[in-house]
Chains A and B, each alone.
Chain A
C-alpha cells in the first residue's frame, strides 16, 4: 500500500511553554494544563501513517487534542513541534517546512476539509455553487461554464438538488449544509480528506446518509481520510484503523475492530463499555 501521509511527533502547545510542559501533562497526570507555566498542551507526540484509500479514525473526548492535530495538518494552526510528510504524485512534501503559498496550494488543491460547523467551511455570504467555485478558482480553473458543470456534478453526487445551487447556504438544513461542505471539499478531487466531527449535531437518519456518502467517496475515489470524532458508531462504521487520544496524547492505536473488541487502555475500556 502507498503511504499518503506520515506524521511524526506532532505537538501543539498554547502559551509561553516551559521545559516541564510535556513531562507534567498527559493522561498520567490527568491534565493538559502545565502546572509550572500554565500552558495548554493540546497535542503531544502524535505519530501515525496513513495509506492510500484508508480511513483513519481519531477518537477521544472533547479537549483530547484530536481536532488540534487535524488543524495543524490542514495548516489552520502551526504546530509547536513535529513533522509531517505528504506523498503526492511522486513528490514528497515536508508539510511544516513549506512556505505559506505552497501550504495554501496544497490545502486548496490536494487536501479537503469538512468541519463540524459548516460556518467554518463555507462562506455564508455566497451561494452554494459559489462556495464550490471558490475552490476551483483557487486552483486556477477560470472557465465559467466548466465551473458550473463541475459544481452541478459535485452537488448531485452529494445529493444536493442542482436547482438549489444558487441559493445561500443559510437557506439549507444542517444536513444539506454539511453535504455542500463535502462537495466543496471534493471540488478538486483531493487525495486526502480531513473530516472533523462531520455528523455531530445531525439527526440519525441524516447522519447515516452522510456516512454512506463518505464510504461511497472512499470506495469510488480511493480517497484517504482522517475522521475525527467522539462517536464510537462513526468510528466503527468508517475507520479501518483508530487512534485513541486523551489529554493530548495517543493512548492507544490499532485496528478499529481490535480496539473496540479488546481495548487495552483503561480509558478506552470505559469508553467502549459505556457505549456498547
Chain B
C-alpha cells in the first residue's frame, strides 16, 4: 500500500542529517548547517525535528510526539500520524518511559529521561545571538570567540528595568563551557533538565537549516550573573503556597494556567498530559488497592 521510501526522506538525505547530527554531538552546542529538505508541511511546523526523527528512527522502535506537553494537540497528532504513515513498523506511545525517541515542541517531559532515550526538539530560532546581532557572519565570529557579552548586557538591562531577568522561554544556555544555544521555546522550568541529561538531546531547526545537540552528561548552564542566579518559574500563590494541578493534585510539575469557563476562576493543570495521567492512575491504583484491602 505504502510506496513511499521508509522515513519519507531518501537515503542520502537521511545520511546527511545523521552526519550533521554526529558533528553536532561532537561539538556540543555548535549549530551544524544542513540542507533542510522540503517536507509536505510548512517550515515552522516542526520540519527540523521531523527530519531528525525520520533520519534516526528504525523499525521496531517506539515514538512519542508531544506539543506543549500534550500528545493530543493538532501539531503532535499530525506529526505522529505522518511518521507512522512513512515509517511502517514503528510503534507509537504516549508514555514517556516507553518511548525510544521523543519528538517535542515547547516542553521536556517531567519524567526524567534515561540513557537509552533520545529527545528531539523542534526549534524555530536556533541562534541565541539573533536578538543582539542581525548579521549571521558576525554571529558566527561571536560564537567562535565565545563572546556572549551582548547577551549578558541584555540580562543586565532586564534587571535594571524589571529587577529580574524576564526571559520566559528560549533561555540562552551555555553548553560545555563554550557555545551558547537557544534551547528552543522550552520554559525556564525545563532548562535545568538539559544539564547532565542522561539522554541525548538533539535540536533541529528546519527553516533555519541547523542541527545542534546537548550530548548526554554535558554541562548546560543558563547565562546569569554571579549574584543574580538563574531561577525557574515560581508557582506559589499569594500565600506562598505551591499551586497544584487541579486534576491530579501534583505540586511538583510545570503548570498551565486556565480560566474555568463555568466559574471564571483561574485553575492550574499539569502541562505534561502524560505525567498528569500517570499521577491520576497511580492515585486510583492506590485507592483501588486500599479498597481491595478493605473489602
- Using CB atoms and an 8 Å cutoff, list the residues of chain A in contact with chain B: 100-101, 104, 123, 126-127, 129-130, 133-134, 137-138, 142-147, 166
Q: How far is the CA of A123 from the CA of B156 in the complex (A)?
A: 14
> A100 touching B145 by the CB < 8 A rule?
yes
What B residues does A100 contact at CB under 8 A?
A: 141, 145
**Could you say which residues of chain B place their CB within 8 Å of the CB of A143?**
225-227
With a cutoff of 8 Å between Cβ atoms, the chain B residues found around residue A126 in the complex are 153, 157
If over half of B's interface residues share one DSSP class (helix, strand or loop), that class is named, otherwise mixed; here it is: helix
Q: Are B156 and A137 in contact (CB under 8 A)?
A: yes
Cβ contacts under 8 Å, A104 to chain B: 145, 147
B: number of interface residues (CB 8 Å):
17
Residue of B nearest to A139 (CB): B149
B156 touching A130, Cβ below 8 Å: yes
Known contacts A133-B153, A144-B159; 18 further A-B pairs (Cβ under 8 A): A101-B144, A104-B145, A123-B153, A126-B153, A127-B160, A129-B156, A129-B160, A130-B160, A133-B152, A137-B149, A137-B153, A137-B156, A143-B227, A144-B225, A144-B226, A147-B156, A166-B160, A166-B161
Q: Which residues of A contact B231 (CB under 8 A)?
A: none
15 sample A-B contacts, Cβ–Cβ < 8 Å, listed by A number: A100-B141, A101-B145, A129-B156, A130-B160, A133-B152, A133-B153, A133-B156, A134-B153, A137-B152, A144-B159, A144-B225, A144-B226, A145-B227, A146-B227, A166-B160
Instruction: A145 to B225: give the CA distance in the assembly, Å.
Output: 9
Q: What secondary structure prevails in chain A residues at the interface with B?
A: helix
Residues from chain B with a CB closer than 8 A to the CB of A142 are 152, 225-226
> CB-CB contacts of B187-231 with A at 8 A, as 1s and 0s?
000000000000000000000000000000000000001111000
* Residue in chain A with minimal CB distance to B160: A166
Q: Residue B150 at the A interface, CB < 8 A?
A: yes
- With both beta carbons as reference points, the residue of chain A lying nearest to B146 in the complex is identified as A101
- Give the total number of A-B pairs whose CB atoms are below 8 A apart: 47
- Shortest distance from the beta carbon of A270 to any chain B beta carbon, whole Å: 44
Q: Are B228 and A144 in contact (CB under 8 A)?
A: yes
Within the complex, what minimum Cβ distance (angstroms) separates A236 from chain B?
A: 38
How long is the Cα–Cα vector from A101 to B147 in the complex, in angstroms? 9
Quick one: closest A residue to B159, CB to CB? A144
* Chain A min CB distance to B96 (Å): 36
Minimum Cβ distance to chain A for residue B148 (Å): 8
Contact (Cβ within 8 A) B141 A144: no
* Contact status of A130 and B227, CB under 8 A, knowing A100-B141, A104-B147, A166-B160: no
Q: Roughly how many angstroms separate A166 CA and B149 CA in the complex, as a whole number?
A: 18
